[in-house]
Structure 1
Amino acid sequence: MDLPSSLGWRMLMCASKTEALHPKLTPFVESGYAFGARRWISNLQVQAERFIYSTGINTSPSDSPISPEGRRSLAITAKRMVISFCSDVCNSTYHNWSSSNKTREKNMEVKTNKRRGDPGKPPGLHRTAGCTIELLSSHNRVFDYLRDIQNRPQWERISTNSIVHELATFSTGPDPRNCISVLAISRHNDILLLQECSTDETGSFVIFAPIEKADFQSLLCGVDQEIQLMPFGFYILPNVSGSILDGTLLTMVFQITVKNVSKKKAVEVATQIVKETLHKIIEAVN
């Protein structure tokens, strides 16, 4: 006999007042979307689906013909990429963010930090630039715009005047928008982009990193290897006003290796790319 069951959820959270939340993020955190039960349950659901689809237990009709070993290797590498991106976004005493704006634009303050020796990244000193802005469009609309490869030439500098197409893709859940893809850009024959898109009701992300063609072929064959990754991308959160979803909080992070240029120049380039990209996105979705 089947008996009814229920899941009880008790949430405990310790909050430090030593560093106040940014006003843009305070409503999102206080709403429970950031750390509440809704967030954790949604995340558990997405991760469970990702495991089932990445191992080939479940598949989607739109998936590329990739072996189970290839799916597994691509999924492992994409997970490392996402974890690295999330680490890059975080603030810490070791990776402290500082403002890079000489003339601060209203509602667009770009911050940077410097990183060296992070595991899984190319050697050398890296400069990271990031910015969070508010958009009027819903977080689903912004996510759909950014994940659509046909839109990339509109906002991505390296895709300008290029054709972007998928070399391989497979779903990581029943929602076809949750997927891992490898993209090719017509003007850059020597490099590919590994990309993962994921969404649920509490937030979404579009994260990508350049990879070499030889590494892509190895991953397709199921070879496990520690590919050096320099992730970029977006975290897309619903903007909360009281109990109402009101637009989007869009965070962009971009990285550049300090090589053959001064540290100052690297900061200027990274900052300019972030601002330029966000302006294009604002024009497209607002």
Structure 2
Amino acid sequence: MSNNDWMRVVQLQVTWVEHTQYDESAVQQLYRPIVNSGFSFGFHRWIATLQRQCECLAILMFSSIPIEDHTALSQAGRRSLLKLAQRMTNDFCCGVCLSSARKWDGLQIGTLGDDVKIMTRKNVDEPGEPPGIVLSAATSASSIPVSRESLFNFLRDERLRSEWDILSNGGPMQEMVHITKGQGSGNCLSLLRASAVNPNESNMVIPQETWTDPSCSVVVYAPVDVQSFDVLMSGGDLAYVALLPSGFAVLPDGYHTSFGSGLLKGGNRPGGGGDRQGSPLTVGLQILVNSLPTAKLTVESVETVSNLIACTIQKIKSAVPVA
């Protein structure tokens, strides 16, 4: 049975009823056009998500999964890596919003302004996170003046991470594993490793999951120490691999949005003569600022994380190729 045959088998008829209420004053100005268009909470976005998930499942059900592997991972190791990526993406989403899955405390620091949202939590004995004080910083940059596809491809390219990522050690990263998870080339799971002058100095690996559909493009990654990763690949408990995921979400370009053939299309800015506004970029970082859960959070730690996220955005704006 081919992928297309499988997709036809699982086609369902869905009756969709929508009723959404939200406080527009709580929506950042950058995203109000896409919210007001009905796309953010509308069925177009959910259908795009369901379609992407079906494509992923269709490929994973077949034994001939396209895999480029330079580490000789076992089939069980690959499944563990896929499960790790799923948890990584879920934890990233919990870290950039007030999710009930994680108990975050919001911080109000006057010097940071309203553009950066800072949250903190103390982890004592919860598996899946390193113990200590964790900070989550998230912000949305004004539209980057390139297409969503160009920005997405730039962020997910391991050869270009040195342009913006301090984890790259100033050089390109090596892709050790590449697992395709959908029809598009951007829907995949990669295992990256930073370059090092001495190979023994590189003591961490970076799982990275990327996906794109008509609603959004996402890049999520998290550093994992080699020892924990080796235990996971040997069949160890996934829940005890400590992760603090960071990443990016790129929305479609254009000031207004309209729908055609189920896809999101760019529109024109009122009075702007149809000028392209670029791609809105949301950045989320999660960082362990102190390994002692009993320690006190300092203003200096918060400002350091805020400066890091601002510096990352500036580096991306300077380095991304304008198309």
TM-score by length of 2: 0.77
Q: Distance in 1 between matches of 2:286 and 2:223?
A: 12
- Sort the Cα spacing of 1:162 and 1:110 in 2 relative to 1 into closer, same or farther, 3 A: same
Q: Distance in 2 between matches of 1:19 and 1:47?
A: 32
| Aligned residue number for residue 50 of structure 1 | 56
| Aligned residue number for residue 27 of structure 2 | 21
- Sort the Cα spacing of 1:194 and 1:229 in 2 relative to 1 into closer, same or farther, 3 A: same
| Aligned residue number for residue 282 of structure 1 | 317
- 2:106 matches 1:121: no
| Aligned residue number for residue 141 of structure 1 | 150
Deviation at 1:97, TM superposition (A): 4.0
Candidates 31, 43, 46, aligned match of 1:40: 46
Question: Unpaired runs of 5+ in structure 1?
Answer: none
| Aligned residue number for residue 229 of structure 2 | 216
**Contact 1:135/1:282 (CA < 8 Å) preserved in 2?**
yes
Q: Which moved more, 1:69-78 or 1:235-244?
A: 235-244
Q: Distance in 2 between matches of 1:220 and 1:55?
A: 21
- 2:144 matches 1:130: no
Secondary structure (helix, strand or coil) at the match of 1:170 reads: strand
- Sort the Cα spacing of 1:115 and 1:131 in 2 relative to 1 into closer, same or farther, 3 A: same
| Amino acid paired to 2:47 | I
Secondary structure (helix, strand or coil) at the match of 1:241 reads: coil
Q: Distance in 2 between matches of 1:252 and 1:184?
A: 22
| Aligned residue number for residue 89 of structure 1 | 96
Identity %: 30
State the structure with more CA Rg: 2
| Amino acid paired to 1:60 | P
Secondary structure (helix, strand or coil) at the match of 1:249 reads: strand
Q: Distance in 1 between matches of 2:202 and 2:187?
A: 26
| Aligned residue number for residue 170 of structure 2 | 161
Alpha-carbon deviations, 1:256-275, whole Å to 9, x = none? 22327952221121111101
| Aligned residue number for residue 238 of structure 2 | 225
Alpha-carbon deviations, 1:8-32, whole Å to 9, x = none? 5423133133863121111112223
Q: Distance in 1 between matches of 2:232 and 2:187?
A: 20
**Contact 2:181/2:189 (CA < 8 Å) preserved in 1?**
yes
- 2:190 matches 1:176: no
- Sort the Cα spacing of 1:63 and 1:26 in 2 relative to 1 into closer, same or farther, 3 A: farther
How many residues align structurally? 280
- Sort the Cα spacing of 1:258 and 1:112 in 2 relative to 1 into closer, same or farther, 3 A: same
Alpha-carbon deviations, 1:156-177, whole Å to 9, x = none? 1232422310121211112122
Question: Unpaired runs of 5+ in structure 2?
Answer: 1-7, 259-264, 267-276
| Aligned residue number for residue 203 of structure 1 | 216
TM-score by length of 1: 0.86
